[in-house]
Amino acid sequence: MSELITNFPELLNGILHSVIYFVMGILILIIGGKVFDFITPYDLKHELSENDNVAVGVTQAGFYIALGIIIHATVSGDSYFYAEDKSLAAIFIKDMILTVSYFIIGLIALSLGRFILNKTMAFSIDKEIVEDKNIAVGLLEASFYITIALVIHASFS
């Protein structure tokens, strides 16, 4: 029992750390969703809710999975949050800057990846996804996002 009491501040610090990264992850997913909506030439809300376009949903799911992989890369790497030679505030700020930097790099890479995929395919990805509701092309784009995220994750590790 006394060990629990002596380790209680460390436990609270770990819980706080987890809550902060959870909130940060949710914010990153929300911002990432807005970026995805911006980089696609079609209206996501209309395609998903009114047209019941599964291909768009698959593509968007791939983008969110990719963001999750990138977020994982940021929080699973070395953290300076528990270093004893620095103030907790300085360490926290450094970790947040690192997380936001990885997120921005990831969004740029995913956006460029979408542009490159659209330019290199022999057909219009947007037409196939929006007009033809081609789930196979939605899977192609989703897997492309996930692959980019895995490469980013490996480079951050």
* pTM of the shown model: 0.82
Give pLDDT tens digits along the chain (157 positions): 566 566 767 777 778 878 888 888 888 889 999 999 999 999 989 999 999 999 999 999 999 999 999 888 877 765 554 555 566 667 777 778 888 888 899 999 999 999 999 999 999 999 999 999 999 999 999 999 999 999 998 887 6
Render 76-133 in DSSP notation, one character per residue: HS---TT-TTS-HHHHHHHHHHHHHHHHHHHHHHHHHHHHHHHHHSSS-HHIIIIIS-
Handedness of CA 30, 33, 38, 42 (dihedral sign): negative
Q: Is residue 72 a contact partner of residue 118, using CB atoms and an 8 Å limit?
A: no
> CA–CA separation, 58 vs 140, rounded Å?
9
Q: What pLDDT score was predicted for residue 150?
A: 95
